[in-house]
Chain A
Amino acid sequence: MDDRMELYLAVAARSFRRATTYRSAYLAGIITNAFFGALVCFVYQALYAGGGRVAGLSLNDAISYAWTTQSLISIGGAWIVSAGISQSIRSGDVITDLSRPWSFYLYWLSRSFGERAFNLLVRGALTYLVGVLYFGARLPAPADLLAFLPAIILAMQVSFAFSFMVNLTAFWLLDSTGVTLLSNVMLTFLSGFILPVAFFPPALQALVHALPFESITGLPTQIFLGQLAPAQIARALATQAAWAAALTALGLAMQAAAMRKVVVQGG
């Protein structure tokens, strides 16, 4: 699509740096995520008071799961991030971005990855550290961490591709707030963010497996915590890759349609 790796790395680097400039914002983010992480843990501690396992998960499994998903919020694990695109559409700044000699899609993708890399490595890691220190959330085994790396990159790609489409609806709807809210509801429940998918009734589980959202949160979390066997990990990564490819293709088609609309109607 575009051979300009250097440019997109430069974009990602700036986006990463931009994220570092909002120190109070990410500190507040960590506190919020840790607060909800703690809250969920108290619920689990009460529910697991009798001991044993629920749907194959021990208390420690459930607690670790809760902290992992909280840590993944800022990379898109629970709702739409990258709202910058729809803002630029509303303000009209998108005009400048669309008329640059670059791929509009890759530009936003690299912006998103730069920001999410920061969020994962700083915000997410610190949030998880709170869970490890105060609630005994499990530290991942090296092998699982190795598998987590491609999983989280694919998760970010699926999340970006989905967010990109949601943001792009602003070209037609002028305001993508409604679609974003609806998407957030689907994401929080169907990604396995609120509860492990294993806790869902079978029919709901089947639905979740047929949708892309699990690729964003549920699958990378299970890989991170070593809850999947090697064969299952391979299948999870393949599922993520398939969704990443499909949603990217859809997003590009949508971008082409938006471009046609803008150049014909003036946005």
Chain B
Amino acid sequence: MALIEVENLQKSFSRPVRRAGRLGALRGLLAREYVTMEAVAGVSFTLEAGAMAGYLGPNGAGKSTTMKMLTGILVPSGGRIEVGGLVPHRQRVAHVRRIGVVFGQRTQLWWDLPTIESFELLRHVYKIPMARYRENLKAFSELLELGPFLDTPVRQLSLGQRMRADLAAALLHDPAILFLDEPTIGLDVVARERIRGFLSEINRERGVTVILTTHDLSDVERLCQRVVLIDHGRVIYDGGLDQLKTRHGRWRTLVVDLADASCAPLVEMADLVRQEGPRAWLRFDRERTSAAALIAEVAARYPVRDLTVEEPEIEAIVRGIYERGVGVI
């Protein structure tokens, strides 16, 4: 049996309708009308123990709602959900002992106290045996370089440090599964890389199953063999990342910094989609043009200062899937 089994999972919210106009608010108070919004509309997937999967989608696709149901915070409106044989929202306490959760935009650490104090408190919360706690703390301190700020109050930490501390906090009790909601949001490249390295380490060495939501494809590229892509509360792709990109991520962009701002780089194999001063964005189809050929062509014709190839964003891939039709998956 798979570790995580989700079958036809649904969650709909009813929200009061806000009426426009001067009397709208008053009428809203007297007779509320509700509109039903389907945040998750029949999601199914399974995940084996030890996997590391990306749960992706554009903003508002239903990623966080699914995560909340998986962690037992939200009760589904329909469908079946089982994590390690438990139904998260029914067996919440037993469930939360076996999972670690990090919401990138929130912290579970005590704001005013040194970081180590929150760790100590978690030792009590999860009744972690002292020896195991020390072992884990030592391992995580080394991997995440927590040492320099263990005694610093959390409010004084940088976002990257706080994120690292939050990750350690989520793992101290040796959870089997780690749920991460946007773990790299707002972080710079160095901080991101360190966190990614840590995640692949704990997945490989400790066998922690990791499921992460993100809308940064580079997280997924570095970490996940498996990708579940959702949009409007439905799964639109489930499989390997490579196939996803080759099938649906056709369009890539070459960003060119020209030495001379006055010329527009026009080449046959790509479309000039945007130009701001000396910087130009050229969109090309990876199935027809290789990045190397395009770079050679542009460099031969124009005085180029710098070049970067941008991978397609999740939004572009989602668009690609719709352009080709969902059926082809």
**Which one of A17, A22, A93, A266 has the highest number of Cβ atoms from chain B below 10 Å of its Cβ?**
A266
List residues of chain B with CB within 8 A of the CB of A4.
124
List residues of chain A with CB within 8 A of the CB of B92.
99
Q: Interface segment, B95-103, B142-150, B272-280, B284-292?
A: B95-103
Asked if B72 is at the interface of the complex by the 8 Å CB criterion, the answer is yes
Asked if B68 is at the interface of the complex by the 8 Å CB criterion, the answer is yes
Q: Are B103 and A96 in contact (CB under 8 A)?
A: yes
Q: Are A101 and B106 in contact (CB under 8 A)?
A: no
Cβ-closest 3 pairs across A and B: A7-B124, A10-B124, A263-B75
User: Which residue in B73, B110, B120, B126 is a CB contact (below 8 Å) of A99?
Assistant: B73
Q: Give Cα A17 to B120, complex, Å.
A: 14
Chain B interface, DSSP helix/strand/loop, else mixed:
mixed
Q: Are B121 and A21 in contact (CB under 8 A)?
A: no
List residues of chain A with CB within 8 A of the CB of B96.
99-101
Q: Are A14 and B121 in contact (CB under 8 A)?
A: yes
**Which one of A4, A10, A91, A101 has the highest number of Cβ atoms from chain B below 10 Å of its Cβ?**
A101
List residues of chain A with CB within 8 A of the CB of B75.
263-264
Q: Are A10 and B121 in contact (CB under 8 A)?
A: yes
A114-131 to B contact mask, C-beta < 8 Å, 1/0: 000000000000000000
List residues of chain B with CB within 8 A of the CB of A153.
none
Q: Are B101 and A92 in contact (CB under 8 A)?
A: no
Q: Give Cα A263 to B90, complex, Å.
A: 11
Q: Are B124 and A6 in contact (CB under 8 A)?
A: yes
Q: Are A96 and B121 in contact (CB under 8 A)?
A: no
A90-109 to B contact mask, C-beta < 8 Å, 1/0: 01110110111110000000
Q: Give Cα A169 to B216, complex, Å.
A: 37
List residues of chain B with CB within 8 A of the CB of A101.
93, 96-97, 125-126
**CB-nearest residue of chain A to B122:** A100
B196 to A: closest C-beta gap in Å = 23
Q: Are B106 and A91 in contact (CB under 8 A)?
A: yes
Q: Give Cα A18 to B112, complex, Å.
A: 6
A144 to B: closest C-beta gap in Å = 35
User: Which residue in A11, A14, A96, A263 is a CB contact (below 8 Å) of B74?
Assistant: A263
Asked if B89 is at the interface of the complex by the 8 Å CB criterion, the answer is yes
Q: Are B124 and A92 in contact (CB under 8 A)?
A: no
Asked if B65 is at the interface of the complex by the 8 Å CB criterion, the answer is yes
**CB-nearest residue of chain A to B117:** A14
Asked if A262 is at the interface of the complex by the 8 Å CB criterion, the answer is yes
